[in-house]
A and B are shown apart, each in its own frame.
Chain A
């Protein structure tokens, strides 16, 4: 029963999200001067909050009805906290062995986004006819900034299923809170991001005269929202990935589409339809905030961040609950 409720709630969440598209101001009035976030977006915000409240209120009760897994969210988190040495140890070993048989080692982390953005920038400026400058910032720098933060969400979501399935031989033999497997993967991704970020700051300073600024204090928040959002998705994907084999290719396609919708374009060059897509896409909002700080040295839009955070927390909660409710069934279904 519980699982069906969660599915129903997910349906509601997604449909609300899509239906509030129509509240977008620019959808009706193309000429309207677009502000960062219209007042009409507030209902969307309120609905999400309401759904969020409903989750908090309902799902633990549903969990308690279950005969076996009757523990509350807090109990799960306490258990997780008590196993933090396992997370540290596992993460440490994974990082050690990660680049054991590579020649370039940790360089891969920065090489991949750098080459991708160089190729993309070359293609778009030479073939498509972009001017090579977006909002007074070189297109390469624009792409690199977007890619580095986008990769956090991208990797976490795409590697969720693989990391759970790869640990199945341990999961089927001993008990530990299963989310640790995903948390270790998130840890790896974050370490990669830190390296990429430092390299990006250096490249920006050396080649594009873009220097660190005071607004960098907002960066941990943005990364945190990004991780919460993608971890929420990762929990859902990891569980359904055990049930359905064709989820992974589908996910790859979705992430590819999201990549084009979020990384390539800026708000200033987008059409009104594209702006709507930008505004309902939390990844794009996070990317925008990240670029605001790193490239344009201005504070991020608070309401945008709050919207993304709200969705992220909701997804994290739903995902974690779904994951924990089904935790003892992993061995049966895999």
Chain B
């Protein structure tokens, strides 16, 4: 049925473990949480790709497009537990799976992907098929295949080989089925009883490994982590801490940090971003790609490689640029590599008196939060409030006229400030614009594509404003105000926790969030420390049982751990 969605929650399996088998814990969370119910999450497109690259190699090509996600609280990660797969999306998954599987079993890849060779390449070989499928299945399903599941996949490979008279084609068909299976496409949430809380539940070791791995690396668990899950090491606080430290020390942590900030700042929206080529001729697909990467490189350098204060991303003069961006930022930068090679990156520091400071002055913010034909203090202010300060800005009423704001050629209102002042004369509009405009106007030195300007329609731009009572005169001042705002680090904790959990934290989890915020402040706002704090928290893995569906005329049945 078109539009129908699979209900992944229905697939949750509960594994009961003996309460008495609980290991001795080194330390417990200092706060008590009332966890939210368990939910499975659909892999994001990037997670899907990461898993495939890790398991089968970095050169695997992907065909087709992944179904778009759903944002909850501005985060795709938080929406991943609220979506399923449409029939059209399932077709895409199937097509992508077949493309991947065909490559994996193709002759050039066999040396690196096949642990065995069939006795006869034109016939089924269940032993070899089982060896391959159990090996990759463990990585793809992120837990060992059950005997029944392995048997089914081997049988599928057998039938495929007989039908095609080709062992590898048969194996590819079975692998394609594996790549289209819910166990691969969805991160499961199998539960076990939590020995620390009476009647409580927590993720089982394999689900815990997935939770941890996708949070820190944005990819599935590696073999050591799966081994830790299998051995029970991951169930002890000491063992968990060991694995967390190992993963935090890995270069793959950068992928996890990047994935969070891509989601946090909504960089997926660059895929849809367009600009009027007449008004903003320097904007291009290359510039858009570079703009995202500039901000990501800046953040990774500051918060990860230098282990700096997160708040400094709003004030730092240091960044990275390509020649493509150099033309937009008006800085001298050349690339002397051979013609035709992609633009290279170079570190750059804006001068002390340069108006650019912090990521709010990057093209990735000013251009992304602007319409196609102009800049927008309101949209930029709204984004800053919602994404960086976690403050909700109500949508405009449906009957508000925007003609003054959009009339950028009006000689009476030459600057955006002039136009917004006139627009705010409408009392219906004034309330929200009071929240957004004083901060958005500080970025008016950057046009709709992020290029610097000092005038609009010949009139000098006034970039003064205020953020929650802190006055500033320009974008650098706004960055400082954001840096100093207590809402800024609080918001990051909220969003990182939401990202990690795959949903917005529930009311019962707020003590944990508060503890994370305090801890974040104690560490000097170090993001890696915050990630570690989340990763080793009991609260990160505790879950409530899903509420059974309410059927009309019946009372919900309470489930308890036995």
Q: Do A and B bind each other?
A: no
Q: Identify the B interface with A (CB < 8 A).
A: none
